[in-house]
Chains A and B, each alone.
Chain A
Amino acid sequence: MSKTKVSGLAPWEEPGSAAGRIGKGGVLALIALAVLLPLYTIVLTSLSSADTVNRAGGLVLVPDGITFDAYRQIFSDSVVSRAVLVSTGVTVAGTAVSLGVSVLGAYALSRPGTLFHRPILFCVLLMFVFFPGLIPTYLMVASLGLKDSYWSLILPSAVSAFNVVVLRAFFMNIPRELLDSARIDGAGEFRILWRIVLPLSKAVTAVIGLFYAVGYWNAWFNAMLFIDDTRKWPLALILRSYVVDSNPLPTATVGVNGFGHVAPPTLAIKMAIVAIAVLPALIIYPFVQRHFTKGVIIGAIKG
């Protein structure tokens, strides 16, 4: 007679064999390594001296002394420091505007019977298929007198149809009875949105906010197009010149030769620039992470 062990767990909940678990662990460790290793080398290289980088023949994997010279050189340049402020301002203001408009739009579109509900929804959905076009966008920005204004970095890209649809799907999932009871208690639409819908939608709002914020932080094309005054350039546009085009930093003093020219930024400086560019997303992400899966999945399965 064979004896069957009853664990009380469903078959898919039972722990696998040791080999299976080791195998899974190994695969997951490799995946984690594939994500963490580039980040580790970027940060380590940005904190290494030129000698260490030269010895390593490129990206540094083994630490050999830590120096903040690269960061000091980047931030001693007023052009970069100001660009950080510009980017921060545009990201904060842009995310606020985008979230505000998207939430209001999505809430209205989630409630049947709102004014011009179907035509507006049709227009939003149309944005998935058709892009208004760069030239019309440029002409619109110019005709509104927004060229060389920070608004030109925000308004043309303030609302993403995708994000509105995701938010709308989430809002539609909130039980109607809840909203009806609030209405019976005398709450208006704004109060319902503010007191009931938004507190229940923290997950999706946080995720959409992250999407918008990262987008604003990384955006350089609109600035290239609409901002003529270099003092108003955001960080992404300035940094592009140093990382992609290898242009020397204006504050570079290391490597000035007898003819007054300067060497291009070292790999340490380039990696420091990359680290600065990805830093905000890295800082914000852990706070949003717990909402992330929930927010995205809800958007994905409720069309």
Chain B
Amino acid sequence: MSQPPGGPLTSRRGFLGMVGAGALAAAGLTGCAAKKEVSKGTAVAADKLKGLVPTRVPFQVTGLTPDLPGSEFVEPGFLTRPGTMVQAVTAKPITSGTEVKAMTPLWGTVPPGLGENSYYDAVNERLGGVVRFNISDGNTYVDKLNTLLASGDVPEMIQIPGWNIDSIAHFTEAANKLFADLSPYLAGDKAKEFPLLANYDTAAWTYGVFGGVLQGIPWQNAPYPFATIARQDIIDELGLSAPKSADDLLALGKELTNPKKKRWAFGGMDQEVQRAFGAPREWRKQPDGTLIYKYETPEFLQSIELMTKLFDAGYVHPDVVANQFADHKEPFGTGQLVMYKDGLGAIHEILGRYLPSTPKIDVRAVDPYPAHPGGKVIVWRNEPAGMFCFIRKGLGDARTRELLGIANWCSAPYGTQEYDLINNGVEGKHFTLKDGQVQQTALGRKEVAPTYLFLSGRPGAITENQYPGYVEAYHGWEQTASRYLENDPFVGVRVERPSKMAGLTQPTEDKMNEIFRGKRPVSEWAQIVKDWQEQGGNEAREFYMKVARENGRL
């Protein structure tokens, strides 16, 4: 057979095998050094990083008070759209007239390009200059990132998701070489020049520190990484109720699964089941003062046993059985899949997509449940920041300030004109208001895409009040979850995961997925954990124990 043009260049598998060395090239290290100087990981207590990051000064949108108040682990909720949007930034941030080049991921429809997109024109008009986006498919974004970082050919502003950072070997070295140190502009009170950036949570800012240098403008995460998302309408229709414990999953699986009706109870549930059994998100402190990783805990093994039973009984959607990364939203939206694990933000996304074809659709986050009835419930904490916008190094003081000004403008919170323009476009053109709610026009659907949104982040808020009951349910779930937060030994410590450990995660969890699917016996898990320990897990433990000791956590 023939190779396609380009042969291996078009092969993702071949490409991924090379990227580690590639990222290293950007860090100016030699091929020889690649074997010796792998990233050992770094860790700094958040309070020691405070000197590098902005001092938090909350930004109050005039006249805007959340209907449902927020707290440290509960996001504020807004039940109605504000009647008037406040202008947060009066001056136009782009003053040089020079075009800004930015690269952002996109999980959605490709919008028309600059010159054919009135949404871009409208935002650029308010910014005072042109931002030219290089948009890449979010699902293959890491492939492009690896190449750009390795070649050193990065745009002026670039959004990099944290999960991509985890899979890029030697990211910190590359980042330190390619991206600007933002502390000279933002540390402490200097951030007053950029009040909307100073509005972020300090913990999120500390996650923007790489190798001891503040480089990433963080995208603030929701407090919780995920929940069990369920089609409550289907559960109600069958006279059942949402799981109260992991024990209920087997019984529910039997009741909900009906292949003749093309309905299966579950999609990917592994992390929710691990959580239910009480396995830690990462490390757990042992009574003897040592650390144990989640793979090594009996709870994790129990979760594997239950997941294997769910797969074995045929309760998992066949697409997910065939491919653990299969799209879950479509079978879920069409009722072929009743429960799966996802971030809470998925709920409004699913409602937006499937309400038209399924008006009765009712999507709920199931309250956190234990392994067995009456057992202890824990909820994993999310990391404070999940994505980062970087600014290229060496652009000069004025240009760096100008780009930070754009990030500041794009950080405007809910209730501001800037937020509304970035998210919805121009009223009357890209959206109209019906009963006080935003309705996208055909032009808006075509042109408005999350682009400027990724040039910064903003404090979390529950604002999708167009879906009746959504804000209240989301807020209520977070209030419930906040009571069960896991006691993570590394809260408040900015840990950059050692490369070796990061590299072990996928192969180990691939084997776990093979156990679920009956390709390996459950009894093999002990050997898989042993391999993990020997190949870098024990080394990682030493690193984390050192970090824990240095920060008084052991």
Q: Which A residues fall within an 8 A CB radius of B?
A: 57-58, 78-79, 94, 98, 127, 131, 133-135, 137-139, 142, 154, 156-158, 160-163, 208, 211-212, 214-216, 218-222, 224-225, 228-231, 233, 237-238, 240-242, 244-253, 255-264
Q: Name which of B2-10, B159-167, B228-236, B407-415 contacts chain A.
A: B2-10
Known contacts A157-B4, A233-B110; decide if A138 and B135 are in contact (CB<8 Å): no
Interface residues of B in 404-441 (CB under 8 A from A): 431, 434, 437-441
B144 at the binding interface (Cβ < 8 Å): yes
Query: Which of B8, B140, B356 sits near A131, CB closer than 8 Å?
Result: B8
- A-B contacts, CB under 8 A, total: 178
A-B contact pairs, 10 of them (CB 8 A): A98-B5, A135-B151, A157-B4, A160-B4, A228-B134, A231-B113, A240-B137, A248-B109, A253-B442, A259-B438
Top 9 A-B pairs, shortest CB-CB distance: A157-B6, A260-B440, A261-B352, A215-B4, A157-B5, A211-B2, A257-B356, A228-B134, A215-B5
Query: Which of A131, A215, A230, A244 sits near B111, CB closer than 8 Å?
Result: A230
Indicate if the CB atoms of B109 and A241 lie closer than 8 Å: yes
Indicate if the CB atoms of A135 and B2 lie closer than 8 Å: no
Q: How far is the CA of A157 from the CA of B111 in the complex (A)?
A: 28
Query: Which of B110, B330, B467 sits near A246, CB closer than 8 Å?
Result: B330
Indicate if the CB atoms of B445 and A215 lie closer than 8 Å: no
* A interface footprint on B130-144 (CB within 8 Å = 1, 0 otherwise): 000011110110011
Interface residues of B in 451-508 (CB under 8 A from A): 466-467
Q: Name which of B11-19, B271-279, B297-305, B379-387 contacts chain A.
A: B11-19
Query: Which of A219, A244, A252 sits near B4, CB closer than 8 Å?
Result: A219
Best-surrounded residue of A135, A154, A208 (most CB of chain B within 10 A): A135
Closest CB-CB distance, A268 to chain B, in whole Å?
A: 13
Known contacts A139-B151, A225-B143, A245-B137; decide if A260 and B4 are in contact (CB<8 Å): no
Indicate if the CB atoms of B18 and A158 lie closer than 8 Å: no
Indicate if the CB atoms of B5 and A216 lie closer than 8 Å: yes
B355 at the binding interface (Cβ < 8 Å): yes
Indicate if the CB atoms of B5 and A131 lie closer than 8 Å: no
Indicate if the CB atoms of B6 and A133 lie closer than 8 Å: no
Q: How far is the CA of A233 from the CA of B111 in the complex (A)?
A: 12
Closest CB-CB distance, A215 to chain B, in whole Å?
A: 3
> Please, which residues of chain B bring their CB within 8 A of the CB of A215?
2-6, 10
Indicate if the CB atoms of B353 and A264 lie closer than 8 Å: yes
Closest CB-CB distance, A217 to chain B, in whole Å?
A: 10
Indicate if the CB atoms of B6 and A222 lie closer than 8 Å: yes
Query: Which of A131, A222, A229, A246 sits near B113, CB closer than 8 Å?
Result: A229
> Please, which residues of chain B bring their CB within 8 A of the CB of A139?
151, 153
B446 at the binding interface (Cβ < 8 Å): yes
Given contacts A134-B22, A260-B438, A261-B356, 10 further A-B contacts (CB under 8 A): A138-B150, A156-B6, A163-B2, A215-B10, A219-B10, A241-B108, A255-B357, A259-B355, A259-B467, A261-B440
B312 at the binding interface (Cβ < 8 Å): no
> Please, which residues of chain A bring their CB within 8 A of the CB of B439?
258-260
Q: How far is the CA of A211 from the CA of B5 in the complex (A)?
A: 8
Q: How far is the CA of A230 from the CA of B132 in the complex (A)?
A: 11
- Which chain A residue shows the least CB distance to B14? A131
Q: How far is the CA of A79 from the CA of B110 in the complex (A)?
A: 8
Known contacts A246-B330, A259-B352; decide if A241 and B10 are in contact (CB<8 Å): no
Closest CB-CB distance, B177 to chain A, in whole Å?
A: 15
Q: How far is the CA of A260 from the CA of B444 in the complex (A)?
A: 9
- Which chain B residue shows the least CB distance to A259? B466
Q: How far is the CA of A253 from the CA of B434 in the complex (A)?
A: 18
Indicate if the CB atoms of B330 and A264 lie closer than 8 Å: yes
Best-surrounded residue of A79, A244, A252, A253 (most CB of chain B within 10 A): A79
Indicate if the CB atoms of B440 and A135 lie closer than 8 Å: no
> Please, which residues of chain A bring their CB within 8 A of the CB of B135?
230
Q: How far is the CA of A160 from the CA of B134 in the complex (A)?
A: 30
B538 at the binding interface (Cβ < 8 Å): no
Interface residues of B in 109-131 (CB under 8 A from A): 109-113, 116
- Which chain B residue shows the least CB distance to A77? B446
Indicate if the CB atoms of A135 and B25 lie closer than 8 Å: yes
Indicate if the CB atoms of B330 and A249 lie closer than 8 Å: no
Q: How far is the CA of A263 from the CA of B358 in the complex (A)?
A: 10
Closest CB-CB distance, B478 to chain A, in whole Å?
A: 22
Indicate if the CB atoms of A241 and B110 lie closer than 8 Å: yes
* A interface footprint on B309-326 (CB within 8 Å = 1, 0 otherwise): 000000000000000000
> Please, which residues of chain B bring their CB within 8 A of the CB of A219?
4-6, 10
Indicate if the CB atoms of B9 and A157 lie closer than 8 Å: yes
- Which chain B residue shows the least CB distance to A94? B5
Query: Which of A162, A231, A238, A262 sits near B356, CB closer than 8 Å?
Result: A262
Query: Which of A162, A253, A264 sits near B3, CB closer than 8 Å?
Result: A162
Indicate if the CB atoms of B445 and A224 lie closer than 8 Å: no
- Which chain A residue shows the least CB distance to B134? A228
Known contacts A79-B112, A251-B446, A255-B357; decide if A245 and B153 are in contact (CB<8 Å): no
Indicate if the CB atoms of A221 and B356 lie closer than 8 Å: no
> Please, which residues of chain A bring their CB within 8 A of the CB of B151?
135, 138-139, 142
Indicate if the CB atoms of B356 and A250 lie closer than 8 Å: no
Indicate if the CB atoms of A246 and B109 lie closer than 8 Å: no
> Please, which residues of chain B bring their CB within 8 A of the CB of A142?
151, 153
Best-surrounded residue of A137, A244, A255, A258 (most CB of chain B within 10 A): A258
B543 at the binding interface (Cβ < 8 Å): no
Q: How far is the CA of A162 from the CA of B6 in the complex (A)?
A: 11
Closest CB-CB distance, A280 to chain B, in whole Å?
A: 14
B329 at the binding interface (Cβ < 8 Å): yes
B59 at the binding interface (Cβ < 8 Å): no
Indicate if the CB atoms of A156 and B9 lie closer than 8 Å: yes
Closest CB-CB distance, A154 to chain B, in whole Å?
A: 8
Q: How far is the CA of A251 from the CA of B445 in the complex (A)?
A: 8
Known contacts A57-B262, A238-B110; decide if A208 and B2 are in contact (CB<8 Å): yes
Indicate if the CB atoms of A258 and B353 lie closer than 8 Å: no
> Please, which residues of chain A bring their CB within 8 A of the CB of B5?
94, 98, 154, 157-158, 160, 212, 215-216, 219
> Please, which residues of chain A bring their CB within 8 A of the CB of B136?
224
Indicate if the CB atoms of B150 and A135 lie closer than 8 Å: yes
B147 at the binding interface (Cβ < 8 Å): yes
> Please, which residues of chain A bring their CB within 8 A of the CB of B22?
134-135
Q: How far is the CA of A225 from the CA of B353 in the complex (A)?
A: 30
* A interface footprint on B88-105 (CB within 8 Å = 1, 0 otherwise): 000000000000000100
Q: How far is the CA of A222 from the CA of B393 in the complex (A)?
A: 27
Q: How far is the CA of A137 from the CA of B6 in the complex (A)?
A: 10
Known contacts A160-B5, A260-B439; decide if A249 and B109 are in contact (CB<8 Å): yes
Closest CB-CB distance, A45 to chain B, in whole Å?
A: 15
> Please, which residues of chain B bring their CB within 8 A of the CB of A161?
3, 7
Indicate if the CB atoms of B445 and A221 lie closer than 8 Å: no
